[in-house]
Amino acid sequence: MSRTIVLRLLASLPLLAGGAGTVWGAAFTVSGIVQGRHVVAVYVDPIPHKLPLSVSTATDMSTGPMFKPPNILMATHPTLAETVLSHGGALLDGLCAGLAGLLLHRLFRSVLHGRPAHRRNAARLAWLAVLSLVVGVAGPIIPFLASSMVLDRVKLADACTPAALYSRLSMIFVLGAILLFVLAEICRSRAESDESRPLGHAT
pLDDT score of 115: 75
Q: Report angle CA 92, 98, 104 to the nearest 5 degrees.
A: 130
Cβ–Cβ under 8 Å, residues 122 and 188: yes
pLDDT score of 2: 66
pLDDT score of 112: 80
Q: Which has more pLDDT, 97 or 32?
A: 97
Percent of the chain at pLDDT > 70 equals 93
Whole-angstrom distance, CA of residue 60 vs CA of residue 189: 61
Whole-angstrom distance, CA of residue 126 vs CA of residue 180: 6
Q: What is the pLDDT of residues 6-46, one digit of tens each?
A: 767 877 889 899 999 999 999 988 888 888 778 999 999 99
Q: At 36, phi and psi to the nearest 5?
A: -100, 25
* Whether pLDDT at 109 is above 70: yes
Q: Which of 48, 47, 36, 31 is nearest to 74 (CA)?
A: 36
Q: What is the pLDDT of residues 73-91, one digit of tens each?
A: 999 999 989 999 998 888 9
The mean predicted confidence, pLDDT, of the chain is: 87
Q: For residue 4, what are the CA distances in angstroms to 117, 118, 190?
A: 20, 21, 25
Q: Which has more pLDDT, 7 or 123?
A: 123
Q: Which of 93, 98, 94, 91 is nearest to 16 (CA)?
A: 98
